Amino acid sequence: MTLVTLSDVLQPALRDGYAVAGLVTLGWEDMRAYVAAAEAENVPVILQAGPSCRAHTPLPILGAMFRQLADSASVPVVAHLDHGYTVEDCKIALDCGFTSVMYDGSSKPLSQNIDETAGIAEMAHAAGASCEGEIGFVGYAGGAASNGTDPNEAAKFAAETGVDAMAISVGNVHLQQNKDGQLDSKRIAEIEALTQVPLVIHGGSGVPMDQRTVLARTTHICKFNIGTELRMAFGAALRKAVNDDPDRFDRLQILSETHAPLVDATRLVLRGLKG
């Protein structure tokens, strides 16, 4: 069994100069492809259940799916709750066998975010799991605007919450379909000068691959969340499978043709974060 915590995979990354991918899952097909890609590249992988995934599939089922994949994987696998918005979200995830939870209090006042995140970090640690928090707000393409992370607030947040990883807002945006964004290297340097906690980039799909590689090797950024980029690859493969044979109706036959293209796309992502 290779189920591990977030801290288990991020501390070596921080020490040795690479990053681990937090891959946003929506169902069995992408989870399975992500683990296959990680095995092919011989790197750890973080399987993430975000709000959209949880709205479709209950947390107990997702926890069982993640653990089943980890049981047979040859590389470390983290079962991670992404964007938990309540204590109850995080508690249910821990009860269902998740090894890591991300509490998102980023839209709340700093003191409230610190207090709530600290409580969830304590709960996660008592369960033998890890906790990720967020300071500053990462916006959404076509939606809410970002609020960049203040380095001094980040230092206070890291010190007072006891989180194992800290998501920051440094020019990254959720759901970005292109790679036109560039992260603010100056702000990243200011944050890492004041903290030692592994840093996390949400909205990693919008970050150019070459910048991901440089930041993974030269900064405290140890985790890039990737969702949109791989959903687009899955969607393209699914569309091709359907269009190639319009008379086909068996979804298992159709979905089977998404596996190899998604593995290939995921391997490119993972390769770019290696040390």
Which residues are catalytic, by number? 82
State the Cα–Cα distance between residues 169 and 49, nearest whole angstrom.
21
159 DSSP β-pair partners: none
State the Cα–Cα distance between residues 53 and 24, nearest whole angstrom.
9
Q: What are residue 238's phi and psi, to 5 degrees? A: -65, -45
Q: What are residue 5's phi and psi, to 5 degrees? A: -90, 170
Q: Are strands 165-168 and 130-135 parallel, antiparallel or unpaired?
A: parallel
State the Cα–Cα distance between residues 57 and 59, nearest whole angstrom.
7
Exposed e or buried b for every residue in 78-112, given b needs 16+ CB within 10 A? bbbbbbbeeeebbbbbbebbbbbbbbbbbeeeeee
The number of helix segments (H) and strand segments (E) in the chain equals: 12, 9
Query: In 85-190, at which residue ranges do the beta strands (DSSP E only) sit?
Result: 100-103, 130-135, 165-168
Lookup result for tokens 């599939």: 57
Q: Are 187 and 157 in contact (CB under 8 A)?
A: no
Q: Are 139 and 172 in contact (CB under 8 A)?
A: no
Lookup result for tokens 């189920």: 3
Which CA distances in Å does 98 have to 61, 62, 226? 11, 9, 19
